[in-house]
């Protein structure tokens, strides 16, 4: 029996080995192809190699063994090939999902590091100012009533900045954690925008920036009043911050289809094309704004990220593009059902 096996082994290898090598070559050529195709070739190669070896041993004579193999091998292929295709697609989808999950995790970790760096930097500045002014008042270096009142006002201003930054962090944490709960109702944009512009009027006046409003009708949207006011306030505050003195910020309102459009134009001089896609990232302020701004905003670099999160929570859209001598932030919100 052993002698018989050694006698037929060379014939089996002579026919099966080229098929196996050809399968290996095809697998090499498919190394950058789909996983389903790779698994199909991987399944078919041993089946075809086995069939070729049996053909070589039988001398292409239709013996009972050869007939059996000719029936069994197609049946095996009929079962294993579809299974390989399905398995390949499942593995491919899982691989893509895992790769995207890793990329999102890396991006999230990088964003968290950037956020910590920015917030640490921006917190340090007002805290240092508050500490220095408090020490000056405590040591009696500042004793004149007018100077004391000025220091007290400046401490109050720096405290307000810190409070604003903490509020921004809290709001952003609610958005990113999915803990934001909106009470949706019909909200008149005229009231929301009026209140937001009134809140930003002192900042604009101190900087000498004109704020204009243009409305082609005042739509009523489906949303939450406080969050909608926060969106407009953040966009207008950002526009004032980046518009030079004697510049103009324009808030335009209209209706497009079944959506309300709120557009805020500023005079920032435009955003570089390589950066315009990143303006809504947490703590991203671009190459033109690497230092904190003290014109009245919180300076934490979170306002646009919060606005984006709140807009998306309303099932709306937000975008930005260069427009005229500045850029235009556009918000689309669903109209309230009549």
Contacts for 18-23: CB closer than 8 Å, 24+ residues apart: 18/52, 19/45, 19/48, 19/49, 19/52, 20/45, 20/46, 20/49, 23/48, 23/49
Q: At what angle do helices 225-242 and 303-313 cross, to 10 degrees?
A: 150
In this prediction, residue 158 carries a pLDDT of: 82
Burial (Cβ within 10 Å: 0-12, 13-18, ≥19) of residue 230:
buried
pLDDT tens for each residue of the chain, 338 residues long: 444 555 566 766 777 778 778 877 887 787 777 767 777 777 777 777 777 777 776 665 666 766 776 677 777 677 676 777 777 677 767 777 778 778 877 876 776 676 677 677 667 777 888 888 888 888 888 778 888 888 888 888 888 878 877 887 778 777 777 777 888 899 999 999 998 899 888 889 989 999 999 988 889 999 999 899 999 999 999 999 999 998 999 999 999 889 999 999 999 888 888 888 888 877 666 655 433 344 444 445 688 888 999 999 999 999 999 988 899 999 999 998 87
Cα 192 → chain centroid: 27
In this prediction, residue 286 carries a pLDDT of: 62
Q: On the CB side of 254, how many CA atoms lie within 13 Å of its CA?
A: 8
For residues 184 and 227, the answer to whether their CB atoms sit within 8 Å is no
The H-or-E segment that residue 55 falls in is: helix 35-58
Assigned CATH class of 110-176:
mainly alpha
**What would the two tokens of residue 274 be?**
């390589």
Cα separation, 237 vs 241, in Å, equals 6
Q: Write out 252-292 in H/E/C secondary structure.
A: EEEEECCEEEEEEECCCCCCCCCCHHHCCCCCCCCCCCCCC
| CB neighbour burial string for 46-84, b if at least 16 within 10 angstroms, e if fewer | ebbbbbbbbbbbbeeeeeeebeebeeebeebbeebbeeb
Cα separation, 163 vs 160, in Å, equals 5
Q: Which residue has the tokens 């409070």?
A: 163
- For the chain, give every domain's residue range: 2-99, 110-176, 185-334
In this prediction, residue 16 carries a pLDDT of: 75
* CB neighbourhood size of 13 (10 A): 14
In this prediction, residue 294 carries a pLDDT of: 42
- Span 185-334 CATH architecture: 2-Layer Sandwich (3.30)
In this prediction, residue 327 carries a pLDDT of: 93
């Amino acid at each position: 029996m052993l002698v018989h096996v050694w006698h037929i082994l060379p014939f089996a290898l002579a026919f099966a080995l080229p098929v196996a090598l050809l399968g290996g070559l095809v697998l090499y050529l498919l190394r950058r192809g789909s996983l389903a195709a790779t698994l199909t070739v991987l399944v078919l190669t041993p089946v075809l190699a086995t069939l070729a070896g049996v053909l070589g041993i039988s001398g292409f004579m239709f013996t009972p063994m050869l007939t059996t193999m000719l029936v069994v091998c197609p049946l095996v292929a009929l079962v294993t090939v579809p299974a390989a295709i399905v398995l390949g697609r499942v593995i491919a989808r899982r691989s893509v999902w895992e790769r995207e999950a890793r990329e999102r995790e890396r991006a999230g970790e990088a964003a968290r590091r950037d956020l910590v760096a920015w917030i640490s930097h921006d917190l340090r500045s007002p805290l240092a100012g508050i500490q220095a002014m408090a020490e000056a008042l405590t040591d009696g270096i500042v004793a004149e009533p007018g100077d004391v009142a000025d220091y007290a006002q400046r401490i109050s201003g720096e405290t307000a900045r810190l409070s604003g930054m903490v509020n921004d962090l809290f709001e952003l944490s609610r958005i990113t954690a999915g803990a934001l709960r909106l009470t949706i109702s019909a909200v008149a944009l005229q009231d929301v925008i009026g209140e937001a512009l009134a809140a930003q009027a002192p900042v604009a006046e101190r900087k000498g920036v004109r704020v204009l409003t243009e409305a082609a009708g005042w739509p009523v949207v489906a949303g939450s009043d406080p969050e909608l006011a926060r969106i407009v306030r953040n966009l207008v505050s950002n526009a004032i911050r980046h518009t030079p003195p004697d510049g103009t910020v324009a808030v335009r309102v209209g209706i497009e289809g079944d959506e309300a459009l709120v557009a805020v134009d500023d005079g920032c001089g435009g955003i570089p094309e390589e950066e315009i896609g990143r303006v809504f990232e947490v703590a991203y302020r671009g190459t033109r704004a690497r230092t904190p701004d003290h014109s009245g905003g919180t300076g934490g670099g979170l306002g646009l990220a919060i606005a984006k999160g709140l807009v998306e929570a309303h099932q709306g859209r937000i975008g930005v593009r260069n427009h005229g001598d500045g850029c235009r932030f556009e918000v689309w919100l669903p109209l309230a059902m009549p």
